[in-house]
Amino acid sequence: MRKEHKKAYIELSIFVPLTIIILTVFSIPLLGIPPLGNLLIPGNGVWNVPGEVPTAERLNIDSLHGEVTVIRDEWGVPHIYATYEEDMFFAQGYCQAQDRLFQMDMLRRQVRGKLSEILGEDYLSTDKFMLATGMETWAINTVKILEEMQSNGTINLVPKIERYVDGINYFINNHKQQLPLEYYLIGFEPAEWSKVDSMCIVQLMAMDLTWNYNDLYRYQNLALLGSANYTELFGLPYPYQIPICPDYGSFGEIPMAPGLGVKISSKVESTISTFMQNVEKIDSQKELMEEQELRGSNNWVIDGVKSSTGYPILCNDMHLSWNMPGIWYEQHMVAENTGFNAYGFQIPGMPLLAVGHNQYVGWGFTNTGYDVIDWYLFNTNGDDGYIYNNTPQDYTYETYKIKVKNQGNVDFTVRHTVHGPVMNDVIGDFGLSDAFGDIVLSSKWTANNYFYTLLAANGFCRAQNRADFDNASQYWTILAQNIVYGDVYGNIAIRPTGKVPIRDDDGTYGNGTLPYNASNGEGEWIGYIDILNELPSSFNPSQHYLASANQIVAGPGYVKYHLQSEYNTGYRARRINELLNQSTNISVEDMKLIQNDVNSTAAQAFVPTLIEVIKSEYGISPPSLIGDVLTELEPWSFLMSKDLAAPTIYRKWRDYFMEFTFDELEGTRKPGLAVLEKLMKEEGEFLNNWFDNISTPAVETRNQTMLLALDATIDWLTELYDSNDPSKWKWGEVHKVTFPHLTGLASLSKGPYPADGEGNTINPSGISLNDINNIRYARGGASERMILDFSNLNQSLSVIPSGQRGFSNSKHYSDQLEQLFLLGKYHFQYYTNTPLNFPINSFESAIYLYPKGGV
């Protein structure tokens, strides 16, 4: 062998292994991170993530009938101008995918039990739970029935949904190398979209808004307190409610409801406790329970008598969890051939609009809190059956295959009773089934049915008047909402809408507020309340405004059916009513101030009494620290301002006052804040002295408990702020708002930002001060804000607490959050503009879609 060949072999033996090592290290997943080469090497991964949409994009697409122009404004909001309506839906799907593909993918995966396929075994419990609820099954069933209805001519909707789906898939298939960062980080690719995926997102919203465990919590409270005491704290109606529909009287003199005749069983109690403890271990359900504390919304509308314009002004801000990107996507959709012209918000992955307006009418939502889920207890009858209405029955079974990353498929079988899935089976599969003994727990939920939500949305977007809108409302079933309405003719209305079950229960068994013993046949659903004719509603009321903030739907004059088992404590509703009731000549500018209002009606209800108690206890010379606290509280006007200390003192004191008063309920759910207000204001009027601390021999009074709470507050805040100067206990240091990324990745999240407000202000943001070492910042609140001016819809305003684009390197990832939302600002909707007169300063980019062979 020649010398130089020998040398070459030696060199090769050095370079080849080194090259192989580098190529291998960067080609295999390490520590849960996908191959770094795919992620970081130029031409791959992060380098292909497009920050912005192209300034000008031209697409020639076979299936288009005519031309479509999509103009994005300076906030990245797409304005879709199509010649033909079906092309408009294609462009809607394309734009949503272009901006929010990863979010859409995650939403459908949640419902379809496909999280563990990409994220691994840790998500298997969530996947099983979601599949067991039957949401995917009913999404599939609904697509089938809509297709049948389309083929027999009952509806004309499915082709529109299909064009929307085509638009999404066109984007997916043509941008496989330009995906959002999250795909590269997790290491998967988007599959094609389907109609079922869109329907799954409707179901997910139904879960978010209506699925709950309230009946089970209430049973625990009833077992603990006994009927009389339970009724005193948890009986309906809740105190100080101002009904949404003003036509059914007010609650001024109505006493709380009488006691219940439900028998308590320790076996049932133990079943429920075990079930609840285990449900809380499932990530998705734990998050849902936390979200439910934030769940709420505001909407109101004033007529021309109250407005400065002589026409209605409608406002809406829906309160949901905050995420990056936000839950809502704004869009403007115009089709020449049908006159379709609507602007509003939709959840990415769904066609049409959920809330918004067209050239005639506008609408917005708040959650009704209608009781649309019941929990049923069955005695088992061997392994294969159960007792229903004193008769043995066999379970039916549904089996799912769940793909788990790095593990292959896992089979999962759900048993069904006549009422629905056996939910403690889901827990049982985690090795805990023995705890349930011979009782199974089954849920019955209105979302386990066909749903026509998109039919309703289609009707809303096209409505030309109140009658059209009402007609569409009857299809808005599984997402029970208070739908506020205004139109260009000067009408205002509200219709708390939804599919509400009628139970075969005169109240003996709790009327749906408690779990039913289905083995005795209790709590059968015998029908649904007629949405248009039997649910409360209001149209052009004499008070000239309508407002809802998740409070009670109707006053005592509505006696037909039981509607709500849980609703908001009512502080936001009290403030909105206070502001609208007293005012006239209200402008859009005033509405901005109201939507951003941080005056706490709750603080106003409690703090004056606290000040009174401090003064009566200590006279004119209180101990110095309490005197300093008084100095902060006395001049306070109840604004939950981040720069003040009084909100911090009030909030922590309120927490302690609640905790000390309801010490009997440790470990279970406490009553609403308004109940504490009533107890405080009407001390001595109740069966029980709730203010007594049951762990001490002495009998504490209201004033003593209030002062004990104050002492504890001072100690707690002194430690937290490391200062005994109350003026330094600024609210903004603990009250912060945060916007976590969908995956929880900190580097893609926004915040925390110090902020005004609290959970009970119109502009809401709830924090938790339970743990001094781990303050939970606000993770939910207004998920959008919209103000519609019916005197000139071009003056209508909106904002979302993120940005339009889900790409973290886009200027539209968080521009609305940082430049508008956190400052209480809004952007215009450019509703009446067209491609020909779109303001040049607001124009950012355009997509021109042509049929193949087009210009």
Binding site for other proteins (CB under 8 A): 4-5, 7-9, 11-12, 14-16, 18-19, 22-23, 26-27, 33, 37-44, 46-47, 49-52, 177, 181, 185, 745-748, 808-811
Gap between the Cα atoms of 261 and 114, Å rounded: 44
**Cα–Cα distance for residue pair 25/387, rounded to 1 Å:** 59
Q: Which is nearer to other proteins, 32 or 153 (CB)?
A: 32
Q: Identify which of residues 8 and 593 has a Cβ nearer to other proteins in the complex.
A: 8
Q: Which residues, other chains included, contact 408 with Cβ-Cβ below 8 Å and sequence gap of 6+?
A: none
One-letter amino acid at 5 equals H
Rank residues 56 and 687 by Cβ distance to other proteins and give the closer one: 56
CB of 20 to other proteins, least distance (A): 10
Compute the least distance from the CB of residue 348 to other proteins, in Å. 21
- What is the CB neighbour count within 10 angstroms for residue 173? 10
Least distance from other proteins to the Cβ atom of residue 323, Å: 16
Residue 2 CB, shortest distance to other proteins, in Å, is 9
| Cα 664 to Cα 129, 208, 230, 498, 726, distances in angstroms | 32, 30, 11, 36, 31
816: left (phi over 0), alpha (psi -120 to 50) or beta: alpha
In this complex, which beta carbon is closest to other proteins, that of residue 17 or of residue 608?
A: 17
CB of residue 514 to other proteins, shortest distance in Å: 47
Best CA proximity match to 346, nearest among 173, 92, 139, 703:
92
From the CB of 33, what's the least distance to other proteins, in Å? 7
Which lies closer to other proteins via its Cβ, residue 27 or residue 156? 27
**Locus of tokens 């005994």:** 724
User: Smaller CB distance to other proteins: residue 22 or 694?
Assistant: 22
Nearer to other proteins, 34 or 754 (CB): 34
Identify the residue whose tokens are 């002589």: 310
Please state, in angstroms and rounded to a whole number, the distance separating the CA atoms of residues 460 and 456.
6
What distance in Å separates the CA atoms of residue 20 and residue 236, rounded to the nearest whole number?
A: 72
| Alpha carbon 341 to its chain's center | 27
CB 181, min distance to other proteins, A: 6
CB 98 → other proteins: shortest distance, Å? 15
> In whole angstroms, what is the distance from residue 206 CA to residue 445 CA?
10
Shortest distance, CB of residue 845 to other proteins, whole angstroms? 14
- Torsions phi, psi for 29 (to 5 deg): -70, 135
Task: For other proteins, give the closer residue by CB, 120 or 622.
Answer: 120
Burial profile 120-140: b = 16 or more Cβ within 10 angstroms, e = fewer: eeebbbbbbbbbbbbbbbbbe
Smallest gap from residue 750 Cβ to other proteins (A) = 12
Q: Which residue lies nearer to other proteins by CB, 38 or 265? A: 38
Query: If we measure between CA atoms, which residue out of 78, 328, 294 comes closest to residue 201?
Result: 328
Structure token pair of residue 475: 């299809």
Q: Which is nearer to other proteins, 189 or 280 (CB)?
A: 189
Whether the CB-CB separation of 220 and 668 falls below 8 Å is answered with yes
Residue number with CB closer to other proteins (25 or 254): 25
* Residue 11 vs 634, nearer CB to other proteins: 11
For β-strands 516-517 and 736-739, DSSP reports them as unpaired
Strand intervals (E) in 585-639? none
Q: How far is the CB of 26 from other proteins (least distance, A)?
A: 7
CB of 779 to other proteins, least distance (A): 20
- Beta strand extents in 285-426 (DSSP E only): 296-302, 313-321, 329-335, 340-346, 355-357, 361-367, 373-381, 385-388, 391-394, 396-404, 408-416
Bridge partners of residue 82, in order along the sequence: 68, 335
